[in-house]
Amino acid sequence: MRPLHHSDICEVVRVLLPLSEEERPRALARFIAFADAADRFRQVTGRMHRAWGDGTLGAAVARQPRHPARSFEDFDYAQCWSMVLEAVIRFRTGRRLSP
């Protein structure tokens, strides 16, 4: 997966919002896997993956329905941001953010 940017997190969070709390972890794991596969495809072929884009997390969710961004005062929105950050840290390092 390519380096993570603020916009990538925002796009993934907006896609996770309409999902139930139970569906979100599985969906997020899929999106990270899609971004990683697309990046590997890009490295080998020099081209973007047809379905998952250029290897960024934002591109991996580009075709997904999404809700508008919200304020961090919205607990659900803030929780999704936290979930995405922790999942990316776990993906990059193999470690959990919290015990």
pLDDT at 68: 96
pLDDT tens sequence across 55-72: 999 999 999 999 999 999
Q: Which of 57, 85, 65 is nearest to 98 (CA)?
A: 85
Q: Is 98 inside any structural domain?
A: no
**Count of structural domains within the chain:** 1
Cα 3-94-21 angle, rounded to 5 deg: 80
Q: Is 99 inside any structural domain?
A: no
Rounded to two decimals, the pTM is: 0.91
pLDDT at 94: 82
Q: Is 1 inside any structural domain?
A: no
Q: Is 43 inside any structural domain?
A: yes
Q: Which residues of the chain have pLDDT under 50?
A: none
Q: Is 56 inside any structural domain?
A: yes
pLDDT at 99: 53
Q: Is 39 inside any structural domain?
A: yes
For 87, the domain range is 6-93
Q: Is 18 inside any structural domain?
A: yes
